[in-house]
Amino acid sequence: MKGGGGSYPGKRRWRCLVIGVLFLVVLSMLVPLVFLLGLYNGFHSYGYISDRRSSNSDSGSNGARVDRTHLTNHKMEHSNIKEIIDHFAPTLPNLEGALRNLTNEAGNISSMTGVKHDGQQQQKGNPLPPHSLLPPPSVGNENDKAGTTEVTESTKNEVKDIEKLCELRFGSYCKWREEHREDMKDSIVKKLKDRLFVARAYFPSIAKLPAQNKLSQELKKNIQEFEHILSESTRDIDLPSQIENKLQRMEVAIAEARTCPVECHNVHKKLSQILDMTEDEANFYTRQSAFLHQLAVQTMPKSLHCLSMKLTVEYFNSSLHDMAPPPPERFSDPMMHHYVIFSNNILASSVVINSTVTHARDSGSLVFHVLTDEQNYFPMKLWFFKHSYREAAIQVLDIEHLDLDYHDKKALLSMSLPVEFHVSFLGVDGPSATPLKTEYLSVFSHAQYLLPYIFKNLKKVVILDDDVVVQRDLSDLWNLNMGGKVNGALQLCSVRLGQLSSYLGESSFDKNSCVWMSGLNVIDLARWRELDLTETYRKLGQQFSKLSKSIEASALRASLLTFQDQIYALGNVWALSGMGHDYGLDVKVIKNAAVLHYNGRMKPWLELGIPRYKRYWKSFLNRNDRFLAECNVNP
């Protein structure tokens, strides 16, 4: 008994050890298998998913589970990038409640964008319908043709409305995308993926029909062939030579499957999963592309940054900083023609001055005042010291260190450059599903309202933005009789103040007044001082800042109302706006305009600038400077 009693625990320990070893062996085989299967399913492209089955009975449930897993992984993979895009995208005020309720497609519309950028508010919108969904040309009778024409016109209107909504969300990126849209590459591969999706949607339901065993086997064979082909080929050029025959066999099998009485719910569920996944992916990449476009147009190009740094080093290595400043008599002589440029872009301000001087009848009467910030003051000063512009005089001022006799100078110097706004508003030009319009407005910055204090001895100046090109002599501007008005400016009558009432507030203003634009402005400083418009602007800015947290929004409101009834409308021959966002400007109109204004996102010195408008700007670029070659400056 003792011997038997002592051997039983030993045998039990031996059995437990054997079971444990067997369990470890099985586990060591399963873990790599699961890992490999996970890699296999995870590394397929988003265009198709492997769906091999061991039996037909569980094909439907497994297919749905694989697609749901793929869709979940797809969303998780993009979540981090999406958070980055949302973090850096500007938060913008929405339109008023009435505008938000105007259309379901508009959703959260970005109504306005501050300094030099477009809005990217996320919204749910209908995707652009693919070309395959457009109605084909009719070959029936005249009534059928008329009906098709109506459908085609309706589809065109829907596409236009979708394009408007895209511009509301992403601004000029949508126009840039349409202009640079490329033909679809590897169309056969994409068609194979599409047919594979459809076949896999029908296969689980067909496999459950005993009478359709032959069709089920044909679908299964075609699906396996397509999966094998797509696992080895990602381009049309890599496809096997008999791909057309295989595609035709798949088309025949799908057409036959559509004639079978299947469970529509399962097919609809499968295709809906694919549609949701595709729409999410398309929306994500659209938002990502719009963000990268915005980042590209907001960021100073590397070559221009290099130019500024090299000029700064050269300035302090030279004896220029020890030289006495030029005599100030010419800079304060009221009999001269004084042009003011606010800029931190050396090349841009150089092009403005060069184009103005080139077309001037008497360049000796021209004086340019370039106002910039502390960072760009020294390279700007060296550049204009090294380059001569006929007999014109050029003064560079550091706007951040001006000694001005104004009690609230710091408040107005918080933004030294002109401001651009991307504005959305209600349009009244005909019926539309989305009667919303967008325009690019450029107005004065805070610092420009200090002009009467910066130039105390001057009675009149002409302000030129740094994104303009002059094509004619501007001396006639000094002979304009503005009838007591303060600001001679180009008016944009496609935008009325009444259309912007949603964010102009309760202030009293003429709703039929056109919006004025910066770019080319003739300023009567004497009249400005009489009306004390600087103080008017400051008070309006304080008033609007209480209503909005956005400094830029307050600046737009205050600028539009400060010059109310004080705008002298310049003729359209003086200035043409839209060169930085409108692809449809007429060549004759461009040639006849005295000043071309590149307002918008696509500036001519950027790689994303509109190519056919760049030549007007590049023709006045000084390409002989050695620093341009060293920094590879070639806009």
DSSP character at residue 432: -
Query: Looking at residue 277, what is its pLDDT?
Result: 81
Query: In this model, does residue 342 exceed pLDDT 90?
Result: yes
DSSP character at residue 594: S
Q: Write out pLDDT tens, residues 503-522.
A: 676 667 778 888 899 999 99
**Token pair recorded at residue 251:** 């088309």
Question: Is 8 strand, coil or helix?
Answer: helix
Q: What is the mean pLDDT of residues 435-462?
A: 87
pTM: 0.68
Are 477 and 462 a contacting pair, CB within 8 Å?
yes
> b/e string for 136-154 if b means 16 or more Cβ within 10 A?
eebeeeeeeeeebeeeeee
Task: Say which residue the tokens 């100073």 belong to.
Answer: 300
Are 590 and 610 a contacting pair, CB within 8 Å?
no
Question: How many residues make up the chain in this entry?
Answer: 635
Q: What is the mean pLDDT of residues 427-441?
A: 62
Average pLDDT, the chain: 75
Those residues with Cβ within 8 angstroms of residue 125's Cβ, 6 or more apart along the chain or in another chain: 105, 106, 107, 162, 165, 166, 169
Q: What is the mean pLDDT of residues 586-593?
A: 92
> For residue 557, what are the CA distances in angstroms to 112, 516, 552?
11, 12, 9
Query: Looking at residue 591, what is its pLDDT?
Result: 92
Q: Which fold has domain 302-631?
A: Spore Coat Polysaccharide Biosynthesis Protein SpsA; Chain A (3.90.550)
DSSP character at residue 266: H
Which helix (H) or strand (E) segment holds residue 397: the answer is strand 393-398
* Number of helical (H) and strand (E) elements in the chain, helices listed first: 21, 12
Per-residue confidence at 550, pLDDT binned at 50, 70, 90? low
Query: Looking at residue 438, what is its pLDDT?
Result: 77
Tell me the one-letter amino acid at 475: S
> For residue 471, what are the CA distances in angstroms to 337, 353, 468, 615?
17, 11, 10, 13
Query: Looking at residue 559, what is its pLDDT?
Result: 85
> For residue 180, what are the CA distances in angstroms to 5, 183, 214, 226, 610?
88, 10, 48, 32, 10
Are 635 and 605 a contacting pair, CB within 8 Å?
yes
Using CA atoms, how far apart are residues 263 and 260, in angstroms rounded to an integer?
Answer: 10
- Pick from 448, 439, 447: which is nearest to 420 by CA? 439
Tell me the one-letter amino acid at 350: S
Query: In this model, does residue 367 exceed pLDDT 50?
Result: yes
3-state secondary structure 116-173: CCCCCCCCCCCCCCCHHHCCCCCCCCHHHHHHHHHHHHHHHHHHHHHHHHHHHHHCCH
Distance from the Cα of residue 88 to its chain's centroid: 13
Query: Looking at residue 162, what is its pLDDT?
Result: 65
For 151, phi then psi, to 5°, come to -65, -40
Query: In this model, does residue 75 exceed pLDDT 60?
Result: no
Using CA atoms, how far apart are residues 355 and 555, in angstroms rounded to an integer?
Answer: 30
Q: What is the mean pLDDT of residues 83-99?
A: 40
Per-residue confidence at 345, pLDDT binned at 50, 70, 90? very high
Query: In this model, does residue 392 exceed pLDDT 90?
Result: yes
Per-residue confidence at 620, pLDDT binned at 50, 70, 90? very high
Residue 303 sits at the vertex; the CA angle it makes with 302 and 307, to the nearest 5 degrees, is 115
Query: In this model, does residue 566 exceed pLDDT 50?
Result: yes
Q: Where are the domains of the chain?
A: 186-298, 302-631
Q: How many CA atoms lie within 13 A of 501 on its CB side?
A: 14
3-state secondary structure 169-205: HHCCHHHHHHHCCCCCCCHHHHHHHHHHHHHHHHHHH
Query: In this model, does residue 46 exceed pLDDT 50?
Result: no
Are 384 and 396 a contacting pair, CB within 8 Å?
yes
Distance from the Cα of residue 514 to its chain's centroid: 27
Among 151-155, 377-381, 560-564, the range scoring the smallest mean pLDDT is: 151-155
